[in-house]
Amino acid sequence: MFVGRFEHSLDPKGRVVLPAAFRERLAAGGYVAKALDGCLAVWTPEDFEREAEEMVDKAKRGDISRRALRSLSSGAAFVKPDTQGRIAIPSELRAFAGLEHDVIVIGAFTSVELWDAARWEAVDRSGDALLSEPS
């Protein structure tokens, strides 16, 4: 399971360091793709396959648009950490997520999410507000 919050920066080549806690599960590589709320998600190959199958099933049922499915699949890229734990984020994915310099890397249980720092702060505040509401 991926959990935690980490602050990193993109290097001039568009790479971000994966937190040490996440590297073992992604050592053989994984898939980075567009995700909900304007972030990027990194999945292990097995979890990405499961996610893709769920998306295909949802598209067949009409629960999601085939355009969303195409956007996910066409933008996905295989990434493998280098010896320093960095993964290269393709430029079109960096543009989608607004990643320019400061990146927040979070564990989202089944995936790792990469957020623009300012966008993350807004999303996190909203999530905190929901968690503090009485049930």
Given a contact cutoff of 8 angstroms between Cβ atoms, the answer to whether 38 and 87 are in contact is: no
For residues 133 and 108, the model is more confident at 108
For residue 42, pLDDT beyond 90 = yes
For residue 135, pLDDT beyond 80 = no
The label of the residue with tokens 């049930």 reads 135
pLDDT at residue 134, as a whole number: 83
Given a contact cutoff of 8 angstroms between Cβ atoms, the answer to whether 93 and 74 are in contact is: no
CATH 3.40.1550.20 fits 5-132, yes or no: yes
pLDDT at residue 57, as a whole number: 94
For residue 133, pLDDT beyond 90 = no
Share of the chain above pLDDT 70, in %: 99
